[in-house]
Structure 1
């Protein structure tokens, strides 16, 4: 299922409302960054986002992208995926109805999103037993394709 133009328009309005609630201006550059993020069907870096946003509005600066990413993340419209490198990946929260876990291929850096609805329950259960409130949680699995040419790894099982 893909996000329709109507859904994206509704989400764009949600982003505008979020900006207003934070006392931030709705600018063409911020909207171009939003459109670039939601136009991307895969994970992206800040530099990828800059490239795509500039295709929409060539006045978008690198600084504007780096300032917009925490705003988009705080709004819940995109999520940050930290894979333990010098940079982070991001992904638009499209059609995510359950908790998402990530499986990261260490050979090609591909990130696979996997539905993991049990994790929300597990996190809440563990926190409740300790008398705590869950602020955030994540499940990340780092894996290698193991030399299997039939694996989902983009390198097709090649390790060098």
Structure 2
């Protein structure tokens, strides 16, 4: 987790308010943990981070808050094979994911070559890409 971006924190808070959700100390701790995330935390990891600020945060409140933010499109819920649900802010620039099968680490990457190839394939098949996700699953290569 990194230093919390106050602008992101404000946006998350405003998104909850727009849904008619009361902003409690517990929810602010959850939002703060989300705003400071540079990884793809699970609900349990967000709970642990939020409890650093407010020990009274419950897992149920984390799940309810995440559900509202996912439904509102502010947060993305990723279902990576073998890792369970992981969450990230939706306003990040487009990127793809590489999932380490041994550690469960999720690595973000961007490749203009991959994007270009996907566009070429869609064009050849007579389609415009509206949305896509690319997930690669692998293991660190063993050194000889």
Closer, same or farther in 2 for the Cα pair 1:111/1:20, shift >3 Å?
same
Partner of 2:41: 44
The Cα of 1:42 is off from its aligned counterpart by 2.1
The answer to whether 1:84 aligns with 2:81 is yes
Partner of 1:56: 53
Deviations 1:20-39 (A, max 9, x none): 22222222211110101222
Distance of 2:30 and 2:84 partners within structure 1: 18
Extract unaligned runs of 5+ from structure 1: 150-160
Instruction: State the TM-score, normalizing by the size of structure 1.
Output: 0.70
Number of aligned residues: 140
The Cα of 1:62 is off from its aligned counterpart by 0.8
Closer, same or farther in 2 for the Cα pair 1:88/1:75, shift >3 Å?
same
The farther-off stretch of 113-122 and 33-42 is 113-122
SS for the counterpart of 2:107 is strand
The Cα of 1:106 is off from its aligned counterpart by 1.2
CA root-mean-square deviation: 3.2
